[in-house]
Each structure stands twice: as C-alpha cells, then as structure tokens.
Amino acid sequence: MSSVPPSTKSAKAAKPVAIAQILFSQGFGTRRHCAALVDHGLVSIGGEVVEDPQQAFPTEGLVFEVEGKTWPFHEKALILLHKPAGYECSRKPSHHPSVFSLLPEPLRNRDIQPVGRLDEDTTGLLLLTDDGPLQHKLTSPKYHVPKLYQASCKAPLDEAQLRRLVEGVLLEERNPRLAEEPVNAVSARALPDGRLEMALTEGRYHQAKRMVAAVGNRVLTLHRQRIGALDLPADLPVGGWLWMDDAQRALAMSEPGDGA
C-alpha cells in the first residue's frame, strides 16, 4: 500500500474567516458564546486582543489564545491519545469514565470519534477524529492498515500457536458469514520478554483476545503500540494527548517500512 499524501488545503480554508466563526468551528460553544468571548476581551492572536467578533483571519496555520490558552486551528481534528486502562471509548460509558473526559472541552464539543474502539482494559494508541473519510480508511479492512498489539498472556505462546494466529482461526460470531471466515494476524511473534506481538488489519469485537483464546491461551493485558507506521510516542504520558499533523496522518495510513 502506498502512503497517502497530506490532506490538501482547500481554497476555502485559506479564505479569511470571522474569529467568532473560527471559535465556533473549533468547539468553543454556541455562536453567541463565541462572540461573547471576543466581546469580553478573552481572545487574542499573536499577543493582540481581538476586539471585533467579525474580524476575519486566514485559518491556515492560525494559532489563537482563548482565556490565556493557546489553540492551533484545525479544520479537521486528528488527536492521538495514550489510553489508560479503566476508560471506555464511548461518549456514554456504562461502567468506567469515558476517554473523552481526558480531553479539553473544546475538543469534546467537536464531533470526534475513536478510530476503532479499544476495550476498557486495553491501553495504548487511540486516534480520534471528525474526519469521516480518514476514519473509514483507518478502520476498513479493505485498506489493510495494520494495528500492532502487544499482549501478556497466561503462558508464553509456542511456535504452533503463533503459526495458527497467522494462518487464521475461526471465531464464534453472531453473523454466520463472519463465523465461516477465518481471521488472521498479518504477523505474530514472541517478544524477548515473553509477550505476544501481533498485527491485525480487521477490528472485530475483542478480536485480539478471542484469537488468542482460539489458540488455547488467554490475554491478560493488551496494549496497542502502532497504527500503520504511526507509533505511540515514547514520551507521551498515559492519559496524555497530542494533535496529529499531516505527516503523522500519512504515517497512520501507511505500512511500517513504506518510508512515509
């Protein structure tokens, strides 16, 4: 699979936009609230307070401050979160806090969704975006974007178990068509510390755990380390998040070793 070029900036994005509209698009509340933030002198650009809610600015590369906090403009948001255990990937969690509670309010207000959910007890790399086509490319099995998982298991996996994971196993599924289709890892190996590392391109429910169970073992802890060629940054603390830029977006959509 070839790497995908960075998203092209539309002519529309380069056109100046009223600051109140910019704030609205970035999740700072209702149009009225955004205009009020400006009226109250709480918004500045380059150290200068913006006086008029209708004053227009080119959005490309724009950085602004709201109540002293710096925000980069992003027409579409792509966020990388280091997911801790004990958080659900849902806006309406049932038993544990939501991963959205780890993000600041303007981001929560945007229509971002996790790119493929992780289980409550799974840790590691979670992307969230409001970019529909990107969401589709990263989650659809059709695009073969590998997700690399590391798992500690009840017992170290032997060669036969590793081979079976790559050759494919059948999983119990409600959908009879899926139940007949073997599901396989694109790679599976034992790490020097005895953990399993395997790459999956599909995102079936509890897929890694069920595949390991299907070869007669059990996942105890599960961590996602990479999506495509995009690694979880080693210096990002658990629970921390980052904006992704166009280069990182391209990495997420490319295979490790593509050179993207």
119 binds ligand URA (CB under 6 A): yes
99, two tokens: 């991963």
Sheet of 48-49: strand order equals: 48-49, 43-45, 63-66, 69-72
- Of the residues 118, 188, 227, 230, which one makes contact with ligand URA according to CB under 6 A: 118
Is 231 catalytic? The answer is: no
Active-site residue identified among 111, 119, 193, 258: 119
Largest Cα–Cα separation, the chain: 69
Of 196 and 208, CB closest to ligand URA: 208
Of 34 and 188, CB closest to ligand URA: 188
Q: Under rule CB under 6 A, how many of the chain's residues touch ligand URA? A: 8
161 binds ligand URA (CB under 6 A): no
222 binds ligand URA (CB under 6 A): yes
Partners of 196 in beta bridges = 151, 190
217 binds ligand URA (CB under 6 A): no
Of 4 and 125, CB closest to ligand URA: 125
Please give the Cα distance from 58 to 19 (Å, whole number): 10
206 binds ligand URA (CB under 6 A): yes
Task: For residue 83, give the nearest of 173, 149, 154 by alpha carbon.
Answer: 149
Q: How near is the Cβ of 203 to ligand URA at its closest, in Å?
A: 7
Please give the Cα distance from 110 to 155 (Å, whole number): 43
Q: Give CA 9 to chain center in angstroms.
A: 21
57, two tokens: 């600015």
- Of the residues 38, 102, 199, 208, which one makes contact with ligand URA according to CB under 6 A: 208
DSSP state of 141: G
254 binds ligand URA (CB under 6 A): no
Q: Which stretch binds ligand URA (CB under 6 A): 43-51, 205-213, 229-237, 251-259?
A: 205-213
Please give the Cα distance from 118 to 26 (Å, whole number): 26
Q: Which residues are catalytic?
A: 119
Residues that bind ligand URA in the complex, under the rule CB under 6 A: 118-119, 122, 206-209, 222
